[in-house]
Structure 1
Amino acid sequence: MGGTSAHSILHGLLDSANTSHRSPPPPTSLKALTTVILNHVRFGGLAKAVSILYSSTLTLPFSLYAHLFQICVSQKAIVEIRKLESHLIMWNPNPPIFLLNRAIEGYGKCGCLDDAKELFDQMPKRDGGSWNSMITAYSQNGKAEEALGLFSRMRREGVFASEVTFASVLASCGTLLELWLSGQVHGLVVKYGFCGNVILESSLVDVYGKCGKISEARRMFDEIDNPNDVSWNVIVRRYFEMDEGNEAVKMFLKMIRMNVRPLSFTVSNVLRACSSFQGLKEGNQIHGFSIKINVEEDEEVTNTLISMYAKSGDLAGARTVFDLSCFRNLISWTAMVSGYARSGQTREARELFNQMPERNVISWNAMLAGYVGSFEWDKALDFVILMRKRTKDIDHVTLGLILNICAAIPDVELGKQVHGYIYRHGFYFNLFVANALLDMYGKCGNLRSARVWFCEMSHLRNNVSWNALLTSYARHGMSEQAMMIFWKMLEETTPSIYTFGTILAACANIFALEIGKQVHAFMIRNGYDMDAVVRGALVDMYSKCRCTEYALKVFDEATSKDVILWNSMILGCSHNGRGDKVLELFASMEVQGAKPDHVTFQGILLACISEGRIELGQQFFKSMTDKHCLIPRLEHYESMIELYGQYGCIDELDHFINEMPFEPTAPMLIKVFDYSRKYRRLKLGEWAADQLNKLNPPVPFQFEIIDNK
């Protein structure tokens, strides 16, 4: 009996506990149920509200479903969307199409395209909203091809497209860069009378800009009666992305004159445009305007301002924005480090880098690129070791920089280790890394490995790859092989303008005039725009091949001439015994305002030697310091010694040697000795011999002045 009593007591306690924790039964009346659901929604209990609805067996008002779908979509509550759809279909034999469309829209917002497509395919009836919801779902989730395919199917079934449908379709066209199809959609927009819709017109501007037709984008923009802030943002961004930064700035200024308040994104885009053409003045003005409209404190605008100032070389301005910023994130820290590193101020960059609260691979690469760009190879190697200890994040940029270090040291063994890492981690499919590896082998002189790797990357190589291989052979004096590579290159890819500079230098090295002429003709036939570097290479090639007239013709055809081109022509004439032409060229150079450098005067002094113009040579040598603020170098002193000695001006030579600001070198002393012996100046010759013996005390080099009297 005691057992029975205990069992009864235990059963009672359990039953009591179950009763106390059991949820209250759902309301049985439709009005009460609706009130409970709405109260839960009002106090933030969306999940509870939908759970109550889902467990109900009542047919609820469609307006309640619509309200709940709207909230679920805004919160991307996928579980609740599925419950709503399930309950709607279960308790309504013919659910309204507009509610099913809301469900498709919700699935699309949550990225659940399989759910959206399954519901769309199962709908017994669809309207334009159904197609629009499905097309939009595809478009917003990166399924541009599916969106366009569904739009084509929609057209075949004769369903009328709305403005929203066209906006989604145009966005998909822009993603796939479908210019032809964009034109067709544009025609439909006009046909259906949607031309006054600013959203569609802005979408057309966007798609034409993305497809590279910036003139069409601008024409479309100019047809918009009242462009809004989004429209202006689109045209500014597209000009910037088409490398027309000046036009992007002009459109932004026009927007301000039209009293349209720019979005923060528009301000960021126009600041990036300023960076693209070193527009510091324009960037300063836009900075002031951003303060005026109170968008300077926007996180993206602040980061772009720092980057703009840093890329324009105004590190003080960048640092001011950085220091005054209320918040500093990874992007702003990295932009500041990159600015200092890019300008060669690696010490300041490293100090900031060490203070960074967090880093990513871009931050590490920015600092490493600073060391590489400043040729601080030891620090760069130490930094790579530190990077390997602190982080496992290495990308293609990191590997390219490490290979640059290997090429510069040079250290082919370290390069081979990097090559192994590239294979093990699958970076050999990256063209940037592959070209850097090819360049490393070439600069390290391992041409066999360079050739083998070049063959292995045949599936992805481009003209940069060919240039790297060709340059490697040319740099190591293998000009014939370089030219063979050039002819093979023409079978696979189109050479760049930089290729011709290398191949022309190779022709000059082996005096291959006919091949040089063929290369020149190829450039003319194919319409290459020859810059100063290539013209300099042509001048050098023709000069070394003794075709001075050809060289002068190429030189005269140049619309603008830099000092390198002037020097190439001056040296070419000097080496070909055209001293008179050198002096004429130098006079023209001064008239045109080109500033001569050390190489220019070397060519002039060589011309003075060939022409026997001793007094003129003295004047030019003196003018280097007096007029052009250039300190003469060793080669200029050697030229003056040769000028005096060759024409028997031994007294001037003696005086010049004594007035030199440094002790004469062995080659200089040998020349002095030779000229002294030739012109029988025993005292100067004995002095030169004595100085030479002092320079070589372990192995005395004895000179004798032979008197032929």
Structure 2
Amino acid sequence: MAVNAASMLNRLLQYKTHKPQNQPNSLKSVTQSILTHLKSGRLQKAVSILFAYPEPFPHSLYARLFHLCSANDAIVEARKLESHLVTFCPLPPVFLLNRAIETYGKCGCLVDARELFDEMPERDGGSWNTMITAYARNGFQEKALCLFSEMNREGIFPNEITFASVLGSCGAVLELVLSRQIHAMVVKYGYSNNVVLGSSLVDVYGKCGVISDARRIFDQIENPNDVSWNVIVRRYLEIGDGKEAVSMFFRMFREDFTPLNFTFSNALVACSSMSALKEGMQIHGVVFKMNFERDKVVSSSLIGMYVKCGILESARMIFDQLGSKDLISWTAIMSGYAMSGRTREARELFNMMPERNVISWNAMLAGYTHLFQWEDALKFVFLMRRMTKEIDHVTLVLILNVCAGISDVEMGKQVHGFIYRHGFCSNIFVGNALLDMYGKCGTLNSARVWFYQMSQERDTVSWNALLTSYARHHRSEQAMTFFNEMQWESRPCKFTFGTLLAACANMFALNHGKQIHGFMVRNGYELDMVIRGALVDMYCKCRCVLYALTIFKEAASRDVVLWNTMIFGCCHNGRGREVLELVGLMEEEGVKPDHVTFQGILLACICEHEAELGKQYFNSMSNDYCIIPRLEHYECMIELYSQCGCMEELEKFIKSLPFEPTVAMLTRVFDACEKHGAVRFGEWAAEQHNQLNPSTLLRFELKDRRKMGR
């Protein structure tokens, strides 16, 4: 029988008690019967006996029963107990009504708790604390804060429990202003030295992003406990300051505190975030020394740390040593193999998992998409849909990535329909993935329509996806138009500018490129190496090499990608001499060239007709830099020898190739032989070409008749 708390107190005014005969002996025997059932764990039976007896019981029995109802989430029994209490006790003590509210709160029945709270004839501070705590514990933070404000208006003084609950609610809703006011009240009422409230203040300031205030409060705690340390480590981790999180973790040992398992986990995650293998291994040593290696939370974090640092063997060793492997451990090691490119081994682990959840499925699918293994990813999607009904926004993003990868817009539209039917349209990650899918599949109209349907949900990533889609499909002018609209709604980021500068380069829009460059300078954007590379590329393609060189030389540091961009920019503008000078500067700065650099150098040698210098650079690739020449390098050397008329060098080079020359190579050799009168070599090239490509036969004829005598 379920009894609601709605009007129990009103029954006090209407109920007439009926006293049974021999009441003292009867009450004593009933009480004893109830206690006997409680000892045997039969709470439901005990409460049923109490509910059927029409006389009040000792307050201690009610208190004990409320406690047991709370511990067992026994909401029906709690309602019966409260009904009996308010019916047969003329004036129920406030502390018992508070226990009833507390029980309803722990059972998640906040309507019952609030109705009882509102109908109480009188309330004390405990009543307010209990109701506020009930709201806070069940995720109704705003109601908790409203009730706290009402409590203050009623002149009820809060205590430590009130402040702890309210600060927790402030942290959940990121209410910084109210947090500062409550902090002032904590000081005013003399609770500054309370370690629980100090830890709560550290927590709320950290969650609100004011980490300097959080650290100041932490340093003011006279005797921080293990929870205090865990909170400060966690908050540093959440703002992305992994270095300080690890530093605080080690400081904790110096001050002779033993970390919680979650503190170990947070420190290891911090190491993972910055690939700090050395510090992670030190923490691993402490874990082993303090016998935490069997803790599932810590072991999973250790596996994750080694995975992120690229030491899969150590991660697998920890996994294999676990006595009982839980779902988190299985998922961590499987995900590590998947994201490290070892999808075959990851799939073997996935198939061995005793249980799986949506995170496990997503991790395996993410491994396939990360390596662009679209066919395997597609098969896995179909398997997932057959084997499990679990799906979340991450799954949908990954499936949309697969649709984009295989350019299957029809499948993407089906996923769009699923998103609409199951209420995922408002999820920004899903929305952006859908926008990206339409763009990569070339359906720009659908991308634009969906973009405008996103309305309030779209963000900077959404704008970037739209701009990139139009720029990728050579609709650069429309991309620039969208950029002008974007400035009314969202602040552009460096990825936006990278996309726009590439669009300007594609349509040789120098004025637009200059405007974007000026916009960045005026608005204080950092010109990092990625943006400088985009600016250099844009200016070079727009024939403003001097601008490009200025941007390049102003860079505080230059990586090989930026050097390559400048080198190729000079090549495309026919300024091979500058390229050779840049190569000398590159060597002076100690930047090691890669295969792209050497392609640019060889192109510069072609521009300057430097056959001997090109030969030296080509040989230095393998001799000095251990770079194996690629097809494009061999093609450059053939072009260089052909343009310079070095037919003997060309013949020696083409006949010593470590592979059979391609049709394109033989065609270029044949043309050079015709131009320079190398009859025998030309006939050989024609014969080789005709064997490889009989559909297009070459016939040797001298183009320069003056060389007929040779």
TM over 0.5, yes or no? Answer: yes
Distance 1:420 1:645, change over 3 A: same
* 2:116 match: 119
* 1:168 match: 165
* 2:317 match: 320
Partner Cα separation in structure 1 for residue 506 and residue 196 of structure 2: 62
* 1:294 match: 291
Whichever residue aligns with residue 632 of structure 1, its letter is P
Contact 2:674 2:700 in 1 (8 A): no
Contact 2:199 2:228 in 1 (8 A): yes
Structure 1 residues 181-580: aligned runs within 5 Å: 181-580=178-577
Partner Cα separation in structure 2 for residue 29 and residue 681 of structure 1: 125
Following superposition, the deviation at residue 656 of structure 1 comes to: 2.4
Superimposed CA distance per residue, residues 13-51 of structure 1 (whole angstroms, 9 cap, x where no aligned partner): xxxxxxxxxxx9986366555555444444434444444
Worse-superposed segment, 488-497 or 239-248? 488-497
Distance 1:102 1:321, change over 3 A: same
- Unaligned runs of at least 5 residues, structure 2: 1-20
Superimposed CA distance per residue, residues 587-628 of structure 1 (whole angstroms, 9 cap, x where no aligned partner): 221222222112111211222222333322221111011011
Partner Cα separation in structure 2 for residue 52 and residue 691 of structure 1: 103
Contact 1:686 1:704 in 2 (8 A): no
Distance 1:174 1:690, change over 3 A: same
Superimposed CA distance per residue, residues 180-201 of structure 1 (whole angstroms, 9 cap, x where no aligned partner): 0000000000011110111111
Partner Cα separation in structure 2 for residue 86 and residue 624 of structure 1: 89
Partner Cα separation in structure 1 for residue 53 and residue 687 of structure 2: 116
Following superposition, the deviation at residue 85 of structure 1 comes to: 2.9
Q: Do structure 1's residue 643 and structure 2's residue 643 form an aligned pair?
A: no
Partner Cα separation in structure 1 for residue 397 and residue 26 of structure 2: 71
Distance 1:699 1:678, change over 3 A: closer
Worse-superposed segment, 159-168 or 399-408? 399-408
Whichever residue aligns with residue 257 of structure 1, its letter is R
Distance 1:620 1:187, change over 3 A: same
* 1:655 match: 652
* 2:82 match: 85
Partner Cα separation in structure 1 for residue 58 and residue 421 of structure 2: 62
* 1:583 match: 580
Worse-superposed segment, 239-248 or 173-182? 239-248
* 1:12 match: none
Which of the two has higher C-alpha Rg? Answer: 1
Distance 1:581 1:32, change over 3 A: same
Partner Cα separation in structure 2 for residue 428 and residue 577 of structure 1: 51
Partner Cα separation in structure 1 for residue 46 and residue 394 of structure 2: 52
* 1:3 match: none
Distance 1:53 1:547, change over 3 A: same
* 1:619 match: 616
Whichever residue aligns with residue 28 of structure 1, its letter is N
Superimposed CA distance per residue, residues 374-409 of structure 1 (whole angstroms, 9 cap, x where no aligned partner): 222222222222222222223332222222222222
Partner Cα separation in structure 2 for residue 485 and residue 636 of structure 1: 40
* 1:15 match: none
- Unaligned runs of at least 5 residues, structure 1: 1-23
Secondary structure of 2:328's partner?
helix
- TM, length-normalised to structure 1: 0.91
Worse-superposed segment, 218-227 or 84-93? 84-93
Following superposition, the deviation at residue 676 of structure 1 comes to: 3.2
Superimposed CA distance per residue, residues 638-683 of structure 1 (whole angstroms, 9 cap, x where no aligned partner): 3223333333333323332333333433443343344334433333
Distance 1:603 1:82, change over 3 A: same
Worse-superposed segment, 334-343 or 657-666? 657-666
Contact 1:574 1:607 in 2 (8 A): yes
Worse-superposed segment, 656-665 or 525-534? 656-665
Distance 1:133 1:413, change over 3 A: closer
Q: How well do the aligned residues superpose, as a CA RMSD in angstroms?
A: 2.3
Partner Cα separation in structure 2 for residue 55 and residue 653 of structure 1: 108
Worse-superposed segment, 592-601 or 340-349? 592-601
Secondary structure of 2:455's partner?
coil
Distance 1:72 1:601, change over 3 A: same
Whichever residue aligns with residue 433 of structure 1, its letter is V
Distance 1:705 1:539, change over 3 A: same
Secondary structure of 1:458's partner?
helix
Partner Cα separation in structure 2 for residue 535 and residue 699 of structure 1: 46
* 1:69 match: 66
Partner Cα separation in structure 2 for residue 448 and residue 65 of structure 1: 68
Whichever residue aligns with residue 550 of structure 2, its letter is K
Distance 1:427 1:40, change over 3 A: closer
Contact 2:563 2:586 in 1 (8 A): yes
* 2:11 match: none
* 1:20 match: none
Partner Cα separation in structure 1 for residue 511 and residue 32 of structure 2: 94
Whichever residue aligns with residue 240 of structure 2, its letter is D
Whichever residue aligns with residue 453 of structure 1, its letter is W
Superimposed CA distance per residue, residues 305-347 of structure 1 (whole angstroms, 9 cap, x where no aligned partner): 2222223322222222222212122222222211111111111
* 1:103 match: 100
Secondary structure of 1:457's partner?
helix
Whichever residue aligns with residue 89 of structure 1, its letter is V
* 2:631 match: 634
Distance 1:51 1:652, change over 3 A: closer
Superimposed CA distance per residue, residues 478-505 of structure 1 (whole angstroms, 9 cap, x where no aligned partner): 3223222222222332222111111111
Partner Cα separation in structure 1 for residue 272 and residue 577 of structure 2: 47
Worse-superposed segment, 231-240 or 301-310? 301-310
Worse-superposed segment, 541-550 or 74-83? 74-83
Following superposition, the deviation at residue 262 of structure 1 comes to: 1.6
* 2:8 match: none
Whichever residue aligns with residue 504 of structure 1, its letter is L
Contact 1:641 1:668 in 2 (8 A): yes
- How many residues of Structure 1 are paired with residues of Structure 2 in the alignment? 686
Whichever residue aligns with residue 285 of structure 1, its letter is Q
* 2:149 match: 152
Secondary structure of 2:487's partner?
helix
Partner Cα separation in structure 2 for residue 552 and residue 607 of structure 1: 16
* 1:692 match: 689
Superimposed CA distance per residue, residues 156-198 of structure 1 (whole angstroms, 9 cap, x where no aligned partner): 1111111111111111111111000000000000011110111
Partner Cα separation in structure 2 for residue 383 and residue 51 of structure 1: 54
Whichever residue aligns with residue 390 of structure 1, its letter is M
Partner Cα separation in structure 2 for residue 664 and residue 307 of structure 1: 48
Percent identity for Structure 1 against Structure 2? 64
Partner Cα separation in structure 1 for residue 654 and residue 133 of structure 2: 85
Worse-superposed segment, 529-538 or 453-462? 453-462
Partner Cα separation in structure 2 for residue 258 and residue 104 of structure 1: 41
Whichever residue aligns with residue 192 of structure 1, its letter is Y
Distance 1:79 1:404, change over 3 A: closer
Worse-superposed segment, 580-589 or 646-655? 646-655
Whichever residue aligns with residue 499 of structure 1, its letter is T
Secondary structure of 1:427's partner?
coil
Distance 1:25 1:429, change over 3 A: farther
Following superposition, the deviation at residue 257 of structure 1 comes to: 1.7
